Chain A
């Protein structure tokens, strides 16, 4: 459990980082952010990057900014930054609630929001958040800047459409309407473990009826995504048990379940049914 040899580069500016990345990308170069996923994988020698571009000293990447339309999160912003709401918009409370479910405290002190997205674990809470809220990823390389929609960003288990020489410099999360409600629920066997299924929902109530429903699902398929079949069961309905159950059922039917030794397809569908309904129930509390 010792990583294979590598060279560590420590750029101070974004330009320098992008230059180094362009140089080493073809030679097995990788970005090192919080290291909470990459370092264990290197210790297992499942990854043997020859170069690490450590972005922890790069200036300007540690910003969180609310411009009234979106929340921009820089590449060095840690999970722990969200423990308290970072904005008065309902998004702040949403992120604070979700953040608590990521791993354990020491890991949240190091791991980064953007690192989670780049790593693209199917169970990642931030990947689920980005997918549910239709985040925009801002990728930079020496060739310029590219914006990628969440729905086009994830590419299956631990894989994204980022290019080798691209740094995910920031993520933009659209602010929620002031009257938006959100709910979140995840299931894992032990506290702090990766979710075996998780759901994040947002919606508004208009005359007692649900509108603009978003039902995001993580940990159930190769990539987190919104589930339109579940959203359809909600829009126009009263927020309550009947609609919530129907949404859970719809999501459970709609998925292409991930299967592993502790979760066969039937069990995954069971969990999806429950986490979607319970996330919706949570939205009422």
Chain B
């Protein structure tokens, strides 16, 4: 099934749509990947972190001969202060090292610099920090309660932002509803847990005075802009390189204070400085996500048609606001996208971000969507129960089927297949056979359940979508430079910054089809601000759509120019020329010229073009699309052990539509990985704070990502509804896998729990939580 990358076989077959092997893998699978932590450095940093969640720093005592940097040493360095111009946003600043006050356990207070990581850690052990405790606020509800201690002077009531929407006519429709169904959903806190934790390495060049910062990031250009801003240095004096990056999942799309400090140190010491985060630091002090309470009500007519939704979103954003998205990233996405794949035109929502004495929140794969999909899909199942109809039936009555569709929050949905993918999943899982098996099992005292999740995923959105949030930094577009060099090999320099997604391969497939050379001759270059065009990096299921679109635009320009050159060299009309297999041919003749020969001509024989063709063979394309919606239906079948509360997933099925698929193998890999993270979200992974603000899950024995044992085989079914909002017709799919599992799995658990008359609306649905519900039911008279 997997094709090679060397030649197309000369049969005019397209590269797009084929499962060619990933061009990035030969290095990675041989252990030849190059990661930030592999670089040697003259100095190493160890951060001394706050053991207290809240308080005032009274003293820092360091050993006499040690180099220990504190806030007092970096007075000129600006705080990280992201900004939103809407939603009553209160800008709060994060000092690079805690300055006078600490606001969460793990906040960096001092940086120890030594000749090795080991020595730095030894010295860090000897640094004494004296803190006068303040009352920590850990839970978001406590933080926004009346009279709560204020964590930042700038944010009264600890509310950093508040978004509100209400459609005209809402009250009237609400009042006329036949039934109101309600859910109080709780999503506990997660850590994205990339395999490679954070790392930075900054080196000073004594000749140019420039700094090269290698770091594990999803957005190298924005790191350059932000760090140069913090340090007040010319941006051109800073080169940021993202070498191989061992997973990001959103955790690496925010600016970390640590990277600013490492860069400052390299300038200060005029030397090289490295920092490699350990797993404990990553779990307590990188970024967290998904800590939300959502109260959602649905108003239905007598036929179980959803008329209106009312939501109250409270997102725990932690101690500071993440840059560049700000802590609006979760609550505002929840507000904008809550209605999901359902036809509902009346909507009211209040979404707040609560500052607390916990690690700062940032985006994590899917951002709010796993939580809102969980909430909405639980609501639909509850509504089905309330109307005594089937959970599939209620979705049939409510899924959007006509396009384009304008949502209650003003989003324009392009054509998708909400209904079709669900029917595909329903058919593939064979619901009647399952129901029969479930019945038999119950008679034996065994409890099986089935759960569905349908959702839409907003992907590939450009600057207008981000501008709607009022962000001071508004990402969106991407630029790609495609060059055919004089030897006929192709290089594409891109502003996206893939870190495992296989973009080097998929973009090469797009280029290959346009200009007629095989992917093996195409190099996609990214991640180095000195060589890549300014771009926004890789996040938000955007790179294939946006960078892919820019690649297509640039490639088409190259193609047009190649046709001109070929016309010139072969003395034929451009319209008669076919580009394929590394050659231009005049259709129906044996006249041909290789692309290498044309490339050579384009640089070295330009006098022959008589001024009609510009010299060189290099073009650029920029793309800034409105956004396109992928969709999927996930189905889980689970086995519940009511005595222990344990849940085993027996079967997991995904029917997915991400528009045109460039490389099916890579697409499947994205869905698989996403589903695994979603399983963690549904059942296992939870960052737990105690009341003092200390983290009880600071290692991978206590914080539990799923292992291979907990992951069932994942069955994939695809549909392709080509996007009208994306010039490659592709939709994004990087996050989709993660979005469905909490809803599908917890719906399945609730289906299994039906005979016990209890419901769980909390993720992760841990055995302890499930047992508590069952125990209460057993005890009830």
Closest Cβ–Cβ distance, residue B61 to chain A (whole Å): 19
Question: CB-defined interface of A244-285 with B at 8 Å, one 1/0 digit per residue?
Answer: 000000000000000011111011001101100000000000
Q: Is B754 an interface residue (CB 8 A)?
A: no
Closest B-chain residue to A48, C-beta based? B125
Q: Is A105 an interface residue (CB 8 A)?
A: no
Closest Cβ–Cβ distance, residue B44 to chain A (whole Å): 10
Q: Is B401 an interface residue (CB 8 A)?
A: no
Question: CB-defined interface of B51-89 with A at 8 Å, one 1/0 digit per residue?
Answer: 000000000000000000000000000000000000000
**Given the interface contacts A191-B710, A262-B766, does A270 sit within 8 Å of B125 by beta carbon?**
no
Complex contacts, A177 vs chain B, CB 8 Å: none
A4 touches which of B125, B643, B696, B767 (Cβ 8 Å) = B125
A194 to B702, CA, bound (A): 10
Complex contacts, A191 vs chain B, CB 8 Å: 707, 709-710
Question: By the criterion CB–CB under 8 Å, are A190 and B710 in contact?
Answer: yes
Q: Is A193 an interface residue (CB 8 A)?
A: yes
Q: Is B706 an interface residue (CB 8 A)?
A: yes
Q: Is A192 an interface residue (CB 8 A)?
A: yes
Closest Cβ–Cβ distance, residue A195 to chain B (whole Å): 12
Restricting to A1-18, which residues have a CB under 8 Å from any CB of B?
1-2, 4-5
Question: By the criterion CB–CB under 8 Å, are A261 and B122 in contact?
Answer: no
Complex contacts, A190 vs chain B, CB 8 Å: 684, 704, 706-707, 709-710
Q: Is A187 an interface residue (CB 8 A)?
A: yes
Question: By the criterion CB–CB under 8 Å, are A270 and B701 in contact?
Answer: no
Closest B-chain residue to A4, C-beta based? B122
| Selected interface stretch from B165-173, B369-377, B669-677, B768-776 | B768-776
A187 to B645, CA, bound (A): 11
Q: Is the interface of A mostly helix, strand, loop or mixed?
A: loop
B697 touches which of A1, A44, A45, A261 (Cβ 8 Å) = A261
Question: By the criterion CB–CB under 8 Å, are A189 and B704 in contact?
Answer: yes
Question: By the criterion CB–CB under 8 Å, are B684 and A189 in contact?
Answer: yes
A263 to B696, CA, bound (A): 13
Question: By the criterion CB–CB under 8 Å, are B707 and A1 in contact?
Answer: no
Q: Is B644 an interface residue (CB 8 A)?
A: yes
Question: By the criterion CB–CB under 8 Å, are A193 and B643 in contact?
Answer: no
Complex contacts, B768 vs chain A, CB 8 Å: 262-264, 267
Question: By the criterion CB–CB under 8 Å, are B707 and A45 in contact?
Answer: no
Closest Cβ–Cβ distance, residue B215 to chain A (whole Å): 20
Restricting to A58-117, which residues have a CB under 8 Å from any CB of B?
none
A266 to B772, CA, bound (A): 8
Complex contacts, A189 vs chain B, CB 8 Å: 646, 684, 704, 766-767
Task: Choose among A44, A193, A261 the residue with the greatest number of B CB atoms under 10 Å from its CB.
Answer: A261
Closest A-chain residue to B117, C-beta based? A2
A4 to B123, CA, bound (A): 10
Closest Cβ–Cβ distance, residue A75 to chain B (whole Å): 25
Question: CB-defined interface of A127-148 with B at 8 Å, one 1/0 digit per residue?
Answer: 0000000000000000000000
A187 to B766, CA, bound (A): 13
Closest B-chain residue to A267, C-beta based? B768
Q: Is B280 an interface residue (CB 8 A)?
A: yes
**Given the interface contacts A187-B646, A274-B643, does A5 sit within 8 Å of B122 by beta carbon?**
yes
Closest Cβ–Cβ distance, residue A267 to chain B (whole Å): 5
Closest Cβ–Cβ distance, residue B471 to chain A (whole Å): 36
A274 to B279, CA, bound (A): 34
Closest Cβ–Cβ distance, residue B696 to chain A (whole Å): 5
Question: By the criterion CB–CB under 8 Å, are B697 and A270 in contact?
Answer: no
Complex contacts, A193 vs chain B, CB 8 Å: 701, 704
Restricting to A140-188, which residues have a CB under 8 Å from any CB of B?
187
Complex contacts, B122 vs chain A, CB 8 Å: 4-5
Restricting to B746-775, which residues have a CB under 8 Å from any CB of A?
766-768, 771-772, 775
Question: CB-defined interface of B678-721 with A at 8 Å, one 1/0 digit per residue?
Answer: 00000010001010000011010110101101100000000000
Closest B-chain residue to A271, C-beta based? B644
- The 10 A-B pairs with the shortest beta carbon distances in the complex, nearest first, are A191-B709, A1-B278, A2-B118, A274-B643, A261-B696, A261-B688, A267-B768, A2-B121, A267-B771, A270-B771
4 further interface pairs, Cβ-Cβ under 8 Å (given A187-B646, A266-B771, A271-B644): A190-B684, A261-B697, A262-B766, A273-B643
Spell out A's residues near B (CB within 8 Å): 1-2, 4-5, 44-45, 187, 189-194, 260-264, 266-267, 270-271, 273-274
Q: What would be 21 A-B contacts, judged by CB atoms less than 8 Å apart?
A: A1-B279, A2-B117, A2-B118, A4-B122, A5-B118, A44-B699, A189-B684, A189-B704, A189-B766, A190-B684, A190-B709, A191-B709, A261-B688, A261-B702, A262-B768, A266-B772, A267-B767, A267-B771, A270-B771, A271-B644, A273-B643
